[in-house]
Copies of this chain bind each other. A is one copy, B any other.
């Protein structure tokens, strides 16, 4: 039985481009899903027809489709076919920074750098960053605002040779500033907890003493496993929470 409802994708591939064909295909389909040209539940052509029409081999077409399955945008079943996944499953968002989060949700982030100092490495930080104790590291203490209100107090430690300048940290988030230095964060270990605000913390965050705070401690690493950053953050629980989308292995 010929496929009754399969959508014919309009995709132009540039076979002479240095951009891999599977990548061009995946991006094109991804765009169609994001714009709604392909609706959730809609059926795609089978991979052999798709490959033939786009003049690529079947493994290449498969690879493109598999990329989108891994992203949760497509669902494939043997004997059935390929469908666009329900909208809510699309796109895992992970490892974004607070700055990006705020900017992305339309709130206006701003940062005050309260402290920017170079000093000997404390034992705890030494462990994380794998820098010998006593060697110099940069300590940064920042107050983050959203729409003019204080939101979070963040203390970070970085190795001297990779630390962004004070000015960069005022204009960008930490991760964006690191990226400008060619440093990509690949993995982070986080612990999220809660506690009551001290008097000093309450004052600086415009909360009452003993208000609820969200706490986050993070260690971040690059793709080679080098430790890049150690951070201890506190957030006003009245104004912020962590939203995450998790996927089963």
Contacts and interface: CB of A to CB of B under 8 A. Distances in A.
Interface of A: 40, 59, 70, 72, 75, 85-86, 88-89, 92, 94-95, 184-196, 210-215, 221, 223-225, 237, 240-249
A246 B193 contact: no
Contacts of A246: 94-95, 187-190
Given A94-B248, A210-B210, A89 B221 contact: yes
B72 A245 contact: no
Nearest to A186: B248
A39 to B, nearest CB: 13
A43 to B, nearest CB: 14
Contacts of A240: 193
A244 B92 contact: no
A72 B222 CA distance: 12
Contacts of A72: 187
A186 B247 contact: yes
Contacts of A211: 196
B194 A248 contact: no
B248 A95 contact: yes
A215 B237 CA distance: 10
Nearest to A184: B248
A225 B186 CA distance: 28
Of A86, A184, A221, most B-chain CB atoms within 10 Å: A86
A188 to B, nearest CB: 5
A88 B221 contact: yes
A235 to B, nearest CB: 8
Contacts of A94: 246-249
A196 B209 CA distance: 12
27 contacts: A75-B223, A75-B224, A85-B225, A86-B221, A88-B187, A88-B225, A89-B187, A92-B249, A94-B246, A94-B247, A186-B247, A186-B248, A187-B246, A188-B245, A188-B246, A189-B244, A189-B245, A189-B246, A190-B242, A190-B245, A191-B241, A191-B243, A191-B244, A193-B237, A193-B241, A195-B212, A244-B244
B193 A242 contact: yes
Of A190, A194, A246, A249, most B-chain CB atoms within 10 Å: A194
A223 B190 CA distance: 27
A89 B226 CA distance: 10
